[in-house]
Amino acid sequence: MSPCRTAFIRDVAAYLAAAGVTLVLLWDGQFARAEAVILLVLYVVYLAICVYTSRWAAESDSPVFASQEQLHEYMKYLSRARQAHSHFHSEQKP
């Protein structure tokens, strides 16, 4: 599964979970301080998951990059690899 699709599924799942938890917490018509803390804890967990998955994507060989600089470096690498590949194959022909 691509990193973009994974992030999309993660975000949709987090939205649905937050909406569901909010609905359950508001079922009685009141909103207590403890319920607000529950929502804040869920948000912190979501942020931790986002940070972890973005670091994983930046460290893997996926096409998701943490910065534009990483993207440019990867494009330079691909260009050099293509040049080396074409040079190698042009020398092999009789």
pLDDT at 17: 93
Q: What is the mean pLDDT of residues 79-91?
A: 72
Q: What is the CA radius of gyration of the chain?
A: 23
DSSP string computed for 39-90: HHHHHHHHHHHHHHHHHHHHHSSSS--SSHHHHHHHHHHHHHHHHHHHHHHH
Closest CA to 53 of 21, 1, 6, 2: 6
Q: What is the mean pLDDT of residues 11-24?
A: 92
Q: Which residue has the higher pLDDT, 56 or 11?
A: 11
Q: How many residues does the chain have?
A: 94
Q: Which residue has the higher pLDDT, 86 or 7?
A: 7
pLDDT at 86: 72
Q: Kindly list the domain boundaries of the chain, sorted by start residue.
A: 1-63, 67-94
